[in-house]
Structure 1
Amino acid sequence: MNQTVFIELVNPFKDKVFRLAKRLLTSTEEAEDATQEVMVKLWNKKENLESYNSVEALAMTMTKNYCLDQLKSKRASNLQIVHNNFTDREPRLDKKIEDEDSLEWVEKIINQMPEQLQLLIQLRDVEQYEFEEIAKIVNMNETAIRVALSRARKKIRESMINTHLYGTK
């Protein structure tokens, strides 16, 4: 496989690799390093890439594993998932503040969840991966992923309701 073919193969999902690394590592510099490391590993496997069903799933799995290894080596206990892809047509200031506050609450709730749930939420709800792709990346069956996500979303919803109803009864 020559360089041009390789670039055409990895370019469509290179940004997803970076976003996943950024979500897991939180630092832009570390995410850039992780992305570069994954791309180098893919380059080293370039002769065998065509044997994989999904090179993108392979890259995302490599990214997840690399980032988790980095976090373990730093003994980081919590991951920060930040959804900064949110854009809107300049809502009113009070709505903007309310939305930012809600996002902060959701982020706090997610950060209290186990790393596996954080990763599932990132892949499904932020990156919009299909369950089949997520199953390959995290090595779980689709039913277990659906159940875990359902429970995680329910916990987020209940926590948000309790937060907003606090002091109203």
Structure 2
Amino acid sequence: MKQSEFLKTVMPFKDKVFRLAKRLLVSTEEAEDATQELYFKLWKNKNKLADYNSIEAFAMTMTKNYCFDRLKSKQASNLKLVHSNYQENGTSLQKRVELNDSVSLVHKLIENLPEQQKIIIQLRDIEEYEFEEIAEMLQINPTAVRVSLSRARKTIREQLTKQHNYGIS
């Protein structure tokens, strides 16, 4: 596989790889390093890529595994929590503050989900993968993907409702 063919094959999903890494590692710098490391590994094994049905699914699985390895390593204790702020032009200051708070709260709620639910919600709701693709990446049943996604969304919805109602039932 030549460089131009490799780039045509793997570059279209570079942003998805980065977003998954950022969701798991939180730090932008760590996510950039993970993305770079993944692409280096893909380049080293470029001749084996034709053996895979979906190179994108393979890359996402590699990203997930690499991020888990990073989180398990001793260096993971140095990772710090960094949140990006959501901005929308043309809204009042109060509305922007409320939106930023809501986006930050959703990020925190997603971070508190179990690992599998966190990955599934990232892949389905943010990266927009199909259930079968997610099941293949995580090596689980598509029904289990649906159940985990449903539970994750329900947990986030309940926590958001609780937060917005200030704990009042």
Question: TM-score scaled to structure 2, two decimals?
Answer: 0.87
Aligned twin of 1:8 = 8
Shift of 1:105: 2.1
Please state if 1:140 is matched with 2:140. yes
Match of 1:166 in 2: 166
CA RMSD of aligned residues (A): 2.4
Q: What is the rounded CA distance, in whole Å, between the counterparts of 2:84 and 2:54 in structure 1?
A: 26
Code of the residue aligned with 2:5 in structure 1: it is V
Once the two structures are superposed, the pairs formed by residues 28-107 of structure 1 within 5 Å of their partners are 28-74=28-74, 88-107=88-107
The worse-fitting range, judged by mean Cα deviation, of 29-38 and 8-17 is 29-38
Corresponding letter in the other structure for 2:146? R
Q: Give unmatched runs, 5+ long, in structure 2.
A: none
CA distance in 2, matches of 1:90, 1:132: 40
Deviation at 1:109, TM superposition (A): 2.0
Structure-1 separation of matches of 2:125 and 2:137 = 15
Matched, 1:124 2:132: no
Shift of 1:13: 0.8
TM-score (norm 1): 0.87
1:40-65 Cα distance to aligned partner (Å, 9 max, x none): 21112211211211000001100110
Does structure 1 conserve the Cα–Cα contact (< 8 Å) formed by 2:49 and 2:55? Answer: yes
Q: Point out where structure 1 has 5 or more consecutive residues left out of the alignment.
A: none
Contact 1:79 1:111 in 2 (8 A): no
Q: Is the 8 A contact 1:81 1:111 kept in 2?
A: no
Amino acid in structure 2 at the alignment position of 1:118: K
- Alpha-carbon contact 2:34-2:66 (below 8 Å) kept: yes
Shift of 1:81: 9.2
Which of structure 1's runs of 4+ aligned residues deviate more than 4 A? Answer: 78-84
Contact between 1:121 and 1:149, CA under 8 Å: does it hold in 2?
Answer: yes
Deviations, residues 97-142 of structure 1 (Å, cap 9, x unaligned): 1111122222222222111111111111111111121111111111
Deviation at 1:72, TM superposition (A): 0.7
- Identity in percent: 57
In the TM superposition, residue 2 of structure 1 has moved relative to its aligned partner by 1.0
Do 1:135 and 1:145's aligned partners in 2 also have CA atoms closer than 8 Å?
yes
Q: What is the number of equivalent residue pairs in this alignment?
A: 167
